[in-house]
Structure 1
Amino acid sequence: MDNAAISRPVKVAAVQAEPGWLNLQKSIDKVISLIENAGKKSVNVLRFPEVFVQGYPWSIWHHSPLSNVGFIHEYVNNSLVKESPEMDRIKKAVKAAGFFVVLGYSERDRGSIYIAQSFINPDGEIIHHRKIKPTRVERSLWGDSQADPVKCVVDTKWGEVGGLN
């Protein structure tokens, strides 16, 4: 895409809000509410933080892995599955809002969870990315990605949008 072809200002917003801690449904409701709110403010691109769905568990940095075992099953069970009714609700909200979203979340896929982000276009289509190598103690919770895909910059009608986990 030729960014010079963009003739009007692009409104980009970054979410700075509390997630629905350890509660997938509450997290999804919050994401949808924030998307709807941004839509009322004529946002073109909305970016959520890393692991917004269901929240980043800072305790992994402050306590031993053994001390964190108590919440791990709950965390895994409340992680978002990419192909799920919850993601369908998010895609529907993005489509209704008519803008581009970069969503950071804890993704559950079979027996592992990953630090993931999905680029969701106004048609509700996803380009998916996982953090290739979780950082230090993050490895006690999230798995390594296989780097497929490693695409973290995508074309939109507002220009190129990128994101890193």
Structure 2
Amino acid sequence: MNKKNILRIAMAQISPVWLNKDKTIEKIKSFIIEAGKGNCELVIFGEGLLPGYPFWVSITNGSEFNSTIQKEIHAHYIRNSIQIEAGELNEICELAKKYNIAIYLGIIERAKNRGGHSLYCSLVYINAKGKIKSVHRKLQPTYEERLVWAAGDGNGLQVHNLKQFCVGGLNCWENWMPLSRTALYGLGENLHIAVWPGSDYNTIDITRFIARESRSFVISVSSLMKVEDFPNNTPHLKTILKNAPTVLANGGSCIAGPDGEWIVEPIVGKEGLIIKDIDFNRVLEERQNFDPVGHYSRPDITKLIVNRERQSVIDIIE
């Protein structure tokens, strides 16, 4: 085995301390430390894990206009979201540097360059030197998510070199957007990260599909959430629990190889790190007969345009 070919990855399938950013950060840090001590080179956390997915919307009549309940829960969500510019990920970045480990982390971002009050479902990549290299704001929130998250932009459609791999990532149903996938393929991606709020229903089909389409490794990482994970200080907790199912997110984290076959089948209901070594040479082997943006593409006929400008309502000219 050629060690240069091998990347040790850890999928952190965990629940948040829901809508408590400080305690969730502490939990995330503990799993980074565990992954680092296990000689992992990349650790991945689920969609919006910090501080949690907006489960209340679909079970508390989230579309009711001018609802006091929705406003008060939403305000609590904003207060526990992450403003990167304020240094709220600094401790996580320091651990990445200490343990020489790269991190993909799903956060709810309170973007300063968009006024600081609207929320974005963002996927943050931190390299092994502890530097934030990209913040991908989810391009299109899904269905009820649009009641709490704003639409992102193309700035985060970026890839990063990690040993011999080229890694990129998307949030949840973005993975079903063929042009978004193609943007990453065209940038050289061969290790695709798909983060989810947590459901084997979501991961069981698309993980293998993307792997087979792209001839890349695909790692799907999901979170967990049960009714007992709602903290007692959650606004309108009784209303939330009234219609909440016992399990809101059951995990389903998994890995498919470049041939589309399972390396790790979806794991349900188990909290902790799932660690696996992957071999870059498998990418080269499977690209022999198909490469969607290389020898099996026709850019003279079909071509994608990507706008990676970070969107803001103002341009300041001093």
Aligned to 1:132: 139
Structure 1 unpaired stretches of 5+: none
Q: 2:7 touches 2:163 (CA, 8 Å); kept in 1?
A: no
* In structure 1, distance between residues paired with 2:164 and 2:96: 15
Aligned to 1:93: 95
Give TM-score scaled by structure 1 length: 0.89
Q: 1:113 touches 1:141 (CA, 8 Å); kept in 2?
A: yes
Match of 2:117 among 103, 106, 111: 111
Deviation at 1:8, TM superposition (A): 4.3
* In structure 1, distance between residues paired with 2:164 and 2:25: 26
* In structure 1, distance between residues paired with 2:151 and 2:126: 23
1:33-44 counterparts in 2 under 5 A?
A: 33-44=30-41
Aligned alpha-carbon RMSD (Å): 1.7
Deviation at 1:20, TM superposition (A): 1.8
The secondary structure found in structure 2 opposite 1:145 is coil
* In structure 1, distance between residues paired with 2:162 and 2:144: 35
Q: 1:113 touches 1:142 (CA, 8 Å); kept in 2?
A: yes
* In structure 1, distance between residues paired with 2:119 and 2:141: 11
Q: 2:97 touches 2:130 (CA, 8 Å); kept in 1?
A: yes
Tell me whether 1:149 sits opposite 2:151 in the alignment: no
* Most deviating of 95-104 and 67-76: 67-76
Deviation at 1:68, TM superposition (A): 3.5
1:1-16 counterparts in 2 under 5 A?
A: 7-16=4-13
- Give the direction of change, closer, same or farther, for the CA distance of 1:60–1:123 in structure 2 (3 Å limit): same
1:36-115 counterparts in 2 under 5 A?
A: 36-65=33-62, 66=64, 68-109=70-111, 110-115=116-121
Q: 1:6 touches 1:158 (CA, 8 Å); kept in 2?
A: no
* In structure 1, distance between residues paired with 2:37 and 2:156: 32
Deviation at 1:34, TM superposition (A): 1.0
Q: Which amino acid aligns with 1:116?
A: S
- Give the direction of change, closer, same or farther, for the CA distance of 1:22–1:154 in structure 2 (3 Å limit): same
The secondary structure found in structure 2 opposite 1:138 is helix
Q: 2:54 touches 2:145 (CA, 8 Å); kept in 1?
A: no
* In structure 2, distance between residues paired with 1:52 and 1:112: 17
- CA deviation string 1:115-142 (max 9, x = no partner): 0011100111112111011111101001
The secondary structure found in structure 2 opposite 1:117 is strand
The secondary structure found in structure 1 opposite 2:154 is coil
Q: Which amino acid aligns with 2:149?
A: W
Deviation at 1:147, TM superposition (A): 2.1
Q: Which amino acid aligns with 2:141?
A: P
Q: Which has the larger radius of gyration?
A: 2
Number of residue equivalences: 160
Aligned to 2:251: none
- CA deviation string 1:139-165 (max 9, x = no partner): 1001111322322x3211251222211
The secondary structure found in structure 1 opposite 2:161 is strand
The secondary structure found in structure 1 opposite 2:157 is coil
Deviation at 1:6, TM superposition (A): 6.4
Give TM-score scaled by structure 2 length: 0.48
Q: 1:28 touches 1:86 (CA, 8 Å); kept in 2?
A: no
Q: 2:36 touches 2:99 (CA, 8 Å); kept in 1?
A: yes
